[in-house]
């Protein structure tokens, strides 16, 4: 679907797009192709798409994947999608708020792939919700704001490194990525964009029992970036327990959370859990 066809379709239905819903539709064929290439979709794949909009990406996904589940919040667009693509046998269209659906539906996504031009207003919460799920998708390929992509790929001592980085990288490693010009969207967003691929780790860095503790450490560590990590943690753990754990892991007492690697956060969570269980 070309940009002019998009405009004509929306005008014919009297649909005015809503900025609050993050309705910026990717229409450039080259960028859509790059996104699908990152997803490496096969006829055996099941694909989750959030925010299908006018179905430009949806049609390409349905032509390649074995099954596509597309969740659309805007009932006007859902009706249009049903008219245009409702007879596609391997496509399931669902009306609802995707973030609420993911929180309420204890679904097994472990053999699914997320492939979406995500609404930017909820992109980060959706990625975290899926990543923290016990049965998380094998791959997540999506468009996000460029600054979010940088956070997803960041490492220690980088200004983009933080809470989002660690909550995602605990279970995913960044794959390929590419910048997307604003002109490739309709309407054009006021921010720079990127397509990014996140690959599920073959083995978890922490056990399910320790995961909540890891999340707590990360949230506390980045709650006040200027304070030392151990000072922030002393609000929740005894000083002697923390000092012993820091020494055992060769962590400086003066370090800040942004200086620790993902592996060091995982090791600290494991050590504190062991001390608690003694």
Position 18 scores a pLDDT of: 79
Across 63-85, average pLDDT: 96
pLDDT of residue 61: 97
Helix ranges restricted to H, 170-236: 211-221, 229-233
Dist. CA 80–CA 52, nearest whole Å: 11
> Is a pLDDT exceeding 70 seen at residue 278?
no
Q: For the residues 213-226, what does the mean pLDDT come to?
A: 95
Measured from the Cβ of residue 235, the count of other Cβ atoms closer than 10 Å reads 8
Q: What is the CATH number of the domain that holds 178?
A: 3.40.50.150
Q: Percentage of the chain surpassing pLDDT 90?
A: 87
- Output the domain CATH number for residue 230: 1.10.8.100
What average pLDDT does the segment 127-140 reach? 96
Asked if residue 69 has a cis previous peptide bond (ω within 30° of 0), the answer is no
Pair 161, 191 in one domain: yes
pLDDT over threshold 80, residue 19 = no
Average pLDDT of 65-74?
A: 97
| In the predicted structure, residue 177 carries a pLDDT above the cut 70 | yes
DSSP reduced 3-state for 227: coil
CA–CA–CA angle 41, 202, 52 (5° rounding) = 35
pLDDT, tens digit (0-9, with 9 covering 90-100), for 78-98: 999 999 999 999 999 999 999
20: pLDDT strictly greater than 80 = no
HSE of 62 in the Cβ direction (CA atoms, 13 Å)?
18
50 in Cβ contact with 119 (< 8 Å): yes
Classify residue 239 by burial, with Cβ atoms within 10 Å: 0-12, 13-18, 19+: exposed
Kindly state the average pLDDT of the residues 240-247: 95
How confident is the model at residue 3, as a pLDDT?
A: 86
Q: What is the pLDDT of residue 40?
A: 97
Residue 239 lies in a domain: yes
Q: What is the pLDDT of residue 277?
A: 60
- Look at residue 64 and tell me if it is in a domain: yes
Confirm if 59 and 32 have CB atoms less than 8 A apart: no
Q: What is the pTM of this model?
A: 0.94
96 Rama class: left (phi>0) / alpha (psi -120 to 50) / beta: left
**Cα-Cα-Cα-Cα dihedral of 59, 60, 65, 67, to 10°?**
-20
- Write down which residue in 170, 200, 230 finishes a domain: 200
Q: What is the pLDDT of residue 2?
A: 84
First to last CA, the chain: 62
Q: Which domain holds residue 160?
A: 3-200
CB 97, CB 20: distance < 8 Å: no
Q: Are residues 65 and 168 in the same domain?
A: yes
- Per-residue pLDDT band for 105 (boundaries 50, 70, 90) equals confident
Residues 121 and 229 in one domain: no
Tell me what pLDDT residue 30 has: 97
Same-domain pairing of 25 and 66? yes
Of 58 and 278, the structure prediction assigns the larger pLDDT to 58
CA 203 to chain centre: 19
pLDDT band at residue 161 under the 50/70/90 scheme: very high
As for how many domains the chain has, the answer is 2
**Residue 100: what pLDDT?**
96
| DSSP summary character for residue 19 | G
The pLDDT score that the predictor gives to residue 132 is 93
Mean pLDDT, rounded, for 118-132: 95
Question: What pLDDT is attached to residue 17?
Answer: 85
Same domain, 26 and 60: yes
Q: What SS3 class is residue 177?
A: strand
Distance between CA 227 and CA 254 in Å, rounded?
Answer: 9
CA-wise closest residue to 49 among 92, 81, 107: 92
Query: If you ran DSSP here, which 8-state letter would residue 259 be given?
Result: G
- Only one residue has tokens 């969207």, namely 185
């Amino acid at each position: 679907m070309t940009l002019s066809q998009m405009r004509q379709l929306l005008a014919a239905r009297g649909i005015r797009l809503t900025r609050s819903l993050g309705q910026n539709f990717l229409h450039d064929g080259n960028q859509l192709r790059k996104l699908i290439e990152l997803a490496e979709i096969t006829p055996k794949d099941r694909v989750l798409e959030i925010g299908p909009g006018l179905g430009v990406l949806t049609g390409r996904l349905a032509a390649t994947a074995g099954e596509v589940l597309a969740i659309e919040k805007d009932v006007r667009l859902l009706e249009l999608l049903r008219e245009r693509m409702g007879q596609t046998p391997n496509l399931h269209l669902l009306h609802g708020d995707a973030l609420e659906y993911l929180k309420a539906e204890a679904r097994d996504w472990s053999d699914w792939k997320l492939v979406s031009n995500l609404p930017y207003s909820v992109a980060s919460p959706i990625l975290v919700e899926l990543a923290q799920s016990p049965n998380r998708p094998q791959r997540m390929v999506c468009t996000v704001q460029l600054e979010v992509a940088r956070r997803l790929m960041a490492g220690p001592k980088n200004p983009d490194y933080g809470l989002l980085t660690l909550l995602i990288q605990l279970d995913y490693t960044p794959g390929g990525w590419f910048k997307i010009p604003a002109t490739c969207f309709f309407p054009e967003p006021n921010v720079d964009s990127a397509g990014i691929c996140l690959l599920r780790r073959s083995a978890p860095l922490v056990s399910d029992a320790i995961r909540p503790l890891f999340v707590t450490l990360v949230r506390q560590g980045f709650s006040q970036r200027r304070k030392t990590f151990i000072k922030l943690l002393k609000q929740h753990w005894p000083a002697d327990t923390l000092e012993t754990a820091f020494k055992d892991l060769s962590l400086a007492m003066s370090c800040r959370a942004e200086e620790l690697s993902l592996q060091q956060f995982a090791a600290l969570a494991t050590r504190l859990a062991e001390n608690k269980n003694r």
